[in-house]
């Protein structure tokens, strides 16, 4: 329907306003509010949820533990939070999910189960996928790196996936 706004679910394991969260707010502030409705899911109350609410956008606060860099994709996909994210996607008619690294192991399977694309921002060159995670990191609809150094560090040498599959947006 042409008058329906596109619902985007932003998921962050971070709750306060550091650099990444400030950049996320800046990104969302620049979406056309007549076209998009940004939803936020966080693991606890904090500055990010407060700033989101101040803008009049929906916020959901549920406890979960963010993934470490050693997560096992098949196990994290089965966590209750992943199923709960899937229910939220269906209940709120979410069209796109934007995840951080630490929630991607739960958000991506939820998006796949509901048929909703999931993208994520790669903020750190130190997030080098382990050998057992390489196929997982090729599944998101988009991976966005914020610098050439982050992209190169994430992909490794030799790159574990085609470099053109990681978008570079400063």
pLDDT of amino acid 99: 97
Q: How far apart are CA 65 and CA 105, in angstroms?
A: 11
pLDDT of amino acid 127: 81
Q: What is the pTM of this model?
A: 0.95
Burial class of residue 75 in the structure, from the number of CB atoms within 10 Å of its CB (0-12 exposed, 13-18 middle, 19+ buried): exposed
pLDDT of amino acid 34: 94
pLDDT of amino acid 2: 56
Q: Please list the helix, strand and coil fractions of the chain in percent, rounded to the nearest 5, in that order.
A: 35, 20, 45
pLDDT of amino acid 124: 84
| Nearest alpha-carbon partner for 57 in 74, 24, 33 | 33
Local structure of 26: helix, strand or coil: helix
> What's the average pLDDT block by block, 10 residues per block, for the chain (170 residues)?
84 93 94 96 98 97 95 97 98 98 97 98 88 97 95 95 94
Q: How far apart are CA 59 and CA 40, in angstroms?
A: 5
């Amino acid at each position: 329907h042409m008058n329906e706004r596109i619902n985007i679910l932003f998921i962050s394991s971070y709750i306060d306003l550091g650099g990444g969260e400030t950049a996320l707010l800046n990104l969302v502030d620049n979406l056309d509010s007549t076209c998009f409705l940004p939803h936020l899911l966080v693991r606890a109350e904090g500055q990010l949820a407060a700033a989101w609410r101040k803008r009049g956008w929906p916020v959901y606060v549920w406890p979960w533990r963010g993934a470490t860099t050693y997560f096992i994709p098949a196990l994290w996909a089965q966590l209750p939070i992943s199923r709960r994210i899937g229910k939220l996607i269906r209940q709120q008619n979410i069209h796109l999910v934007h995840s951080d690294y630490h929630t991607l192991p739960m958000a991506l399977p939820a998006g796949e189960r509901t048929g909703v694309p999931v993208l994520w921002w790669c903020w750190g060159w130190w997030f080098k996928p382990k050998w057992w995670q390489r196929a997982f990191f090729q599944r998101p609809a988009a991976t966005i790196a914020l610098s050439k150094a982050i992209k190169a560090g994430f992909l490794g040498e030799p790159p574990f996936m085609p470099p053109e599959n990681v978008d570079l947006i400063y």
